[in-house]
Amino acid sequence: MTPDYDVIIVGAGPAGMASAITARQSNLSVLVLDDQPDHGGQVWRNIRQNQQHHQMRAFLGKDYWKGHQLTKDFLNSGSDITHQAVVWQISHPLSLSVTIAGIAQSLTARAIILATGAYERPVPLPGWHLPGVMTVGAAQTLLKASSSGADGAVFVGTGPLFYLTITQYLDAGFSIAGVCDTGARLNSLSTLAALPLALTQPNMLRKGLSWLRRIKAETPYYAHVSDIRLEGKEQVEAVAFAYGKGKTKENMHIPSSHVFLHQGVIPNVNLSMASGLAHQWHHRQMCWHPVCDRHGASSVEGIYIAGDAGGIAGAGAAVASGHITGAAVAKALTRATSPKRALWQHRIKRLHHRALRPFLDQFYAPLPETLIPRDENTIICRCEGLTQAEVTTAIGMGVAGPNQLKAYCRAGMGRCQGRMCGLTVQALLADHHKTPIQDMPYYRLRPPVRPVTIAELAALHQADHDISG
């Protein structure tokens, strides 16, 4: 049977769009499935609409508007594009189950590219489950998708997205009640060792420094923040924390009904894990990466990974990686080689963007108290409402790994399927068993990776029956 498409790409962010453009240059038929309302991914979210209000929304900044050219090329590439399409399964040989407008269907392809991007590392602090506590990325999404923001918010965290979003908030004219910086630690040898490579990217370093200088000047800024608690009953009412170093450490309490958290981003691996791809623990980024070669080919034939879904390197690297993977897929399917010059340009660009990463990963490493929560009332599994005490009690009953833990306390069995608790559960188990974190497995994920109703499954079965019968 002829496959429905040569290439199906999951995700219309920087990597997904770039790989579609390159695959189309070799005349392959391309379908892009994206779960958001429009293309752009998280980084260039809503760029089509925002472009029409360009002047009023200048606060989104230069890097945001850079996405315009790629999205234009993507729309002109001749790819079929479907939005609000939820992919929940990949089967072998290559077919993919997707729900579009409430209707499930099965599609086949000669190659599948997963460009599922990244999401923010869960931040299990006391009170992080309270309404009014959101991620910094969520605050930025509201700026991009709805040009709305909240006055008097408190930002807690660290990392490039943290400083960028605060800068966008300032440019948009929102008042900020506090910036609690948990990062920027130049105190380890490995951070210093990564600095020379980072110095090859002086413009990016300068940009980071100018954000920080401005934030320090224009907001109530607290450095070296730790011991964070989000307080409130039905919703968040205040942030309590300590700041400063050693003997100069002081306690602070800021009332606010909006708190935005950020501790970096991690690859979105639920679909790649549930599809049986091999993954490995990445020490510096403290998360799982799918195993793939430099072209993005995964451990499963015909499935490729492009962009941040394969490891965090940012939007610029994701575009280059998308082009590289698109060319690799074209070569595998048509034996056609892309123009060498263009390919080398993408490879050099990717190297260039990756140069800063080892430094960023370590300079903005997550705060230890968010990796292994010490407060026993902290919610670990948001879906099931399980606290640290409940999870550690279950672990203490002799649970060896994350899958067994499900049977003891239901951690990871809710709708998010471990996206919000997986890394924390892995860290708590490794800590309890005194096992190196990379030796403690993650949840075994199975499709469907998004909740699917029985009616959808029944309709899918009926459709398959109709085709084969």
Partner 1 sequence: MFRQLDTPSSEITIFWEDRPLSAYQGELVAAVLLRHGIHSTHHGQSTGSRGPYCMMGVCFDCLVDVDNQKAIQACQIIANDGMRLNRHMNMAGTGHTHDA
C-alpha closest to that of 363 among 114, 192, 134, 171? 192
> Counting contacts by CB under 8 A, is residue 119 touching partner 1?
yes
CB of 93 or CB of 385, closer to partner 1: 385
> Counting contacts by CB under 8 A, is residue 388 touching partner 1?
no
> Counting contacts by CB under 8 A, is residue 172 touching partner 1?
yes
> Counting contacts by CB under 8 A, is residue 173 touching partner 1?
yes
> Counting contacts by CB under 8 A, is residue 229 touching partner 1?
no
From the CB of 329, what's the least distance to partner 1, in Å?
26
d(CA 369, CA 120): 16
Peptide linkage before 448 cis (omega within 30 of 0): yes
Which pair of structure tokens corresponds to residue 168? 């966008």
d(CA 443, CA 31): 30
d(CA 322, CA 314): 12
Among 4, 35, 63, 227, indicate the residue that binds partner 1 (CB under 8 A).
35
> Counting contacts by CB under 8 A, is residue 100 touching partner 1?
no
d(CA 142, CA 150): 10
Stretch that binds partner 1, among 124-132, 297-305, 317-325, 391-399 (CB under 8 A): 124-132
d(CA 242, CA 246): 11
Helical ranges in 297-387 per DSSP H: 315-334, 340-354, 357-363, 368-371
Backbone angles phi, psi at 262, to 5 degrees: -155, 130
> Counting contacts by CB under 8 A, is residue 390 touching partner 1?
no
Contact 228, 156 (CB under 8 A): yes
In this structure, which amino acid lies at residue 334? Answer: T
> Counting contacts by CB under 8 A, is residue 416 touching partner 1?
yes
> Counting contacts by CB under 8 A, is residue 151 touching partner 1?
yes
Contact 457, 285 (CB under 8 A): no
CB of 204 or CB of 379, closer to partner 1: 379
Q: What is the CA radius of gyration of the chain?
A: 22
From the CB of 416, what's the least distance to partner 1, in Å?
5
Stretch that binds partner 1, among 142-150, 206-214, 219-227, 304-312 (CB under 8 A): 142-150
> Counting contacts by CB under 8 A, is residue 53 touching partner 1?
yes
d(CA 27, CA 212): 46
Please state whether beta strands 95-100 and 103-114 pair in parallel, antiparallel, or not at all (unpaired): antiparallel
> Counting contacts by CB under 8 A, is residue 235 touching partner 1?
yes
In the stretch 262-281, what mask flags binding to partner 1 with x, by CB under 8 A? ------x-------------
Among 9, 90, 150, 394, indicate the residue that binds partner 1 (CB under 8 A).
150
> Counting contacts by CB under 8 A, is residue 145 touching partner 1?
yes
Helix (H) or strand (E) holding 206: helix 202-218
> Counting contacts by CB under 8 A, is residue 238 touching partner 1?
no
From the CB of 120, what's the least distance to partner 1, in Å?
7
Among 60, 104, 107, 133, indicate the residue that binds partner 1 (CB under 8 A).
133
From the CB of 414, what's the least distance to partner 1, in Å?
3
CB of 172 or CB of 459, closer to partner 1: 172
Size of the site for partner 1 (CB under 8 A): 50
d(CA 391, CA 236): 24
Q: How far is CA 418 from CA 80, 262, 284, in A?
A: 32, 18, 21
Among 137, 178, 326, 422, indicate the residue that binds partner 1 (CB under 8 A).
137
Among 57, 262, 323, 354, indicate the residue that binds partner 1 (CB under 8 A).
57
d(CA 337, CA 122): 41
Specify the 3-state DSSP secondary structure of 191.
Answer: helix
C-alpha closest to that of 172 among 39, 53, 37, 49? 53
Stretch that binds partner 1, among 64-72, 221-229, 311-319, 412-420 (CB under 8 A): 412-420
Interacting residues toward partner 1 by CB under 8 A: 35-37, 42, 49, 53, 56-57, 84, 119-120, 129-135, 137-138, 141-142, 145-151, 172-173, 234-235, 257-258, 268, 381-385, 410, 413-416, 419-420, 451, 453
